[in-house]
């Protein structure tokens, strides 16, 4: 079974202020389903996503290749990558707190393409109702919906989603997972996630990082079957596997 991956990361190394955060990370993201990036805190999951997007801080140093299809993404400005179909839902949501919900969405509109407000409001009717509310006054879950919603306003070839369930109440976690499941039916997703219940529900493939390197890759099913391996790779701090 050889399918052309949507994203290929080869030998990616990132050094920030003298610290080697990533050391030769290589993996691919399948063109369908959810590829989950796993690992203990501080192994470089967020750094990987940001390096793919060209968001490494200026004093940092990035080496290696990142390709979307056949095109190299290295040394391209972030805004161009995003326009080419790389949607980013950052850690901690990063909605613009001082702007209204509508303004947050309007910001994501692009010249030359019709924004898919139907799609967004169909998934998140709440955002339509709260259009004039300042994003900073939304609950954590609503902010997450907004962060996902503004990415879905445009068509994407790949979504990079960083810890969408972090700090959310269990009920809201389930909602977010449902939404991501629906989204992933249409667009491939590279997901950073710590909540194993969510991983179990969404993941088709898994990449496990440890100390800045890839420690394991393969179908998510295989990883989750081996409880001992999961424990050793993801740490005891991870959420217990229910269901």
Binding site for other proteins (CB under 8 A): 17-18, 20, 23, 53, 55, 58, 77-79, 82-83, 88, 90, 92-99, 103, 106-108, 110, 136, 140, 143, 150, 154, 210-218
CA angle 64, 67, 71 (to 5 degrees): 125
Query: For residues 216 and 93, what is the distance between their CA atoms, to the nearest angstrom?
Result: 28
Of 125 and 218, CB closest to other proteins: 218
Of 131 and 218, CB closest to other proteins: 218
User: Which pair of structure tokens corresponds to residue 146?
Assistant: 């907004």
At its nearest, how many Å lie between other proteins and the CB of residue 162?
11
Of 144 and 194, CB closest to other proteins: 144
CA angle 86, 72, 79 (to 5 degrees): 40
Of 31 and 140, CB closest to other proteins: 140
At its nearest, how many Å lie between other proteins and the CB of residue 242?
27
At its nearest, how many Å lie between other proteins and the CB of residue 74?
16
At its nearest, how many Å lie between other proteins and the CB of residue 225?
13
At its nearest, how many Å lie between other proteins and the CB of residue 174?
21
Calculate the CA dihedral of residues 114, 121, 198, 91 and round it to 10 degrees: 60
Of 73 and 197, CB closest to other proteins: 73
At its nearest, how many Å lie between other proteins and the CB of residue 88?
5
Q: Are 13 and 63 in contact (CB under 8 A)?
A: yes
Residue 92 DSSP code: T
Of 160 and 197, CB closest to other proteins: 160
91-95 CB contacts, 8 Å cutoff, 24+ apart: 91/46, 91/162, 91/163, 91/166, 91/192, 92/163, 92/166, 93/140, 93/143, 93/144, 93/146, 93/147, 94/147, 95/135, 95/136, 95/138, 95/143, 95/146, 95/147, 95/150
């Amino acid at each position: 079974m050889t399918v052309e991956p949507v994203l290929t990361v080869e030998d990616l190394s990132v050094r920030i202020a003298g610290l080697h955060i990533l050391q030769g990370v290589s993996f691919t993201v399948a063109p369908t389903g959810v590829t989950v990036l796993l690992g203990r805190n501080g192994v470089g999951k967020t750094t990987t996503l940001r390096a793919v997007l060209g968001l490494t801080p200026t004093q940092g140093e990035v080496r290696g290749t990142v390709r979307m299809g056949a095109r190299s993404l290295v040394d391209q400005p972030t805004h161009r990558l995003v326009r080419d179909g790389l949607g980013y839902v950052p850690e901690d949501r990063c909605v613009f707190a001082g702007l209204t919900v509508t303004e947050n969405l309007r910001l994501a509109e692009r010249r030359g393409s019709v924004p898919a407000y139907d799609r967004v409001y169909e998934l998140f009717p709440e955002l339509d109702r709260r259009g004039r509310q300042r994003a900073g006054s939304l609950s954590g879950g609503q902010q997450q919906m907004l962060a996902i919603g503004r990415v879905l306003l445009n068509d994407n070839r790949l979504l990079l989603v960083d810890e969408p369930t972090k700090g959310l109440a269990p009920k809201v976690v389930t909602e977010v997972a449902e939404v991501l499941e629906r989204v992933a039916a249409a667009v491939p997703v590279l997901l950073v996630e710590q909540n194993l219940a969510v991983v179990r529900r969404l993941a088709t493939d898994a990449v496990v990082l440890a100390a800045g390197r890839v420690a394991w890759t393969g179908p998510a099913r295989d990883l989750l079957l081996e409880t001992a391996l999961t424990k050793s790779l993801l740490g005891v701090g991870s959420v217990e596997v229910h269901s």
